[in-house]
Structure 1
Amino acid sequence: MLKEFKTFALRGNVVDLAVGVIIGAAFSTIVNSLIADVLTPLLLKPALDAAQLSKLEDLTIFGAVKYGKFISATFNFVIVAFVLFLIVKGINATKKKEEAKPAPIAELPADIMLLTEIRDLLKLKQ
């Protein structure tokens, strides 16, 4: 059973998935910072100031439903999804380029090469 688990865990897809999850978590902090520290102050600050709100999280309905946080989370998700789409698209393009390369020609066995040379010599004599 331990051997089967080791085979499963070290299979390419499982390792790729683990790497993807770790990179996604790390990338998430970058995107959160981009949104909270760069985009929100640049793009939403004028709108929030006009509405006399200091933060996006201050947007509420009935004082309890904080739809501003929902808008922020949705914005985060769209950016993360788009960037991951671009990354996957780039990886797929790279794989297609590698698959399009012709396969290396295998060395012919010595007897086949000898027969080919004999055939070519016979063609020259005719």
Structure 2
Amino acid sequence: MIKGFKDFLMRGNVVDLAVAVVIGSAFAKVVDTVISNIITPLLATLGGEGTPGFGPTLRSGDAKTFMDFGGILNQLIVFVLTAAVVYFVVVVPMNRLMSMRKTGEEPEPEAPSEEIILLTEIRDSLRTRG
């Protein structure tokens, strides 16, 4: 089980995930700010005068019964834009890098030289002595 975890760490999935989380959360704040300051006011104008935004009020005069469709649309836009940026900034370059690595064959490890073989035998001999 430990070997499997080590292999998982060595594949780079953890690094990819960490980068995606950091970029995604940072970009989500930027997108959220843009949406809140540009799209939200535009959607609020669709609700008409006297309404708190884009959506109906179920009970007239009670602000707690307002169904904010504009807020839902804002969050959908934030999600889609954030996912698109993470995909195009992190996933596409990583996939391109991985495909470039796959096409370039890794050279076979060279056979150890006679000196290395001799040194390995000496090391093993010293270990057994003591």
Instruction: State the match for 2:33 in structure 1.
Output: 33
TM-score normalised by length of structure 1: 0.55
Q: Does 1:73 align with 2:75?
A: yes
- Match among 76, 93, 98 for residue 96 of structure 2: 93
CA displacement, residues 22-80 of structure 1 (integer Å, 9 cap, x when unaligned) = 3321221122123234x528xx73x754654699x711222521111001111111111
Q: In 1, Cα distance between the equivalents of 2:15 and 2:79?
A: 24
Q: Residue 105 of structure 1: CA displacement?
A: 5.4
Q: Residue 21 of structure 1: CA displacement?
A: 2.2
Q: Residue 14 of structure 1: CA displacement?
A: 3.9
Q: In 2, Cα distance between the equivalents of 1:40 and 1:54?
A: 19
Native 8 Å contact 2:44 2:53 kept in 1: no
Q: In 1, Cα distance between the equivalents of 2:83 and 2:69?
A: 21
- Consecutive unaligned residues of structure 1, counting only runs of 5 or more, are 112-126
Q: Residue 16 of structure 1: CA displacement?
A: 4.0
Q: Does 1:60 align with 2:55?
A: yes
Cα–Cα, structure 1 residues 13 and 53, in superposed 2: closer, same or farther, change >3 Å? Answer: farther
Cα–Cα, structure 1 residues 18 and 54, in superposed 2: closer, same or farther, change >3 Å? Answer: farther
- Consecutive unaligned residues of structure 2, counting only runs of 5 or more, are 59-64, 115-130
Native 8 Å contact 1:48 1:54 kept in 2: no
Q: Residue 15 of structure 1: CA displacement?
A: 4.8
The percent of aligned pairs where both chains have the same amino acid is 25
Q: In 2, Cα distance between the equivalents of 1:54 and 1:100?
A: 63
Tell me the amino acid that sits aligned with residue 76 of structure 1: V
Cα–Cα, structure 1 residues 71 and 110, in superposed 2: closer, same or farther, change >3 Å? Answer: closer
Answer 1 or 2: higher relative contact order, Cα 8 Å, separation at least 6: 2
Q: Residue 85 of structure 1: CA displacement?
A: 2.1
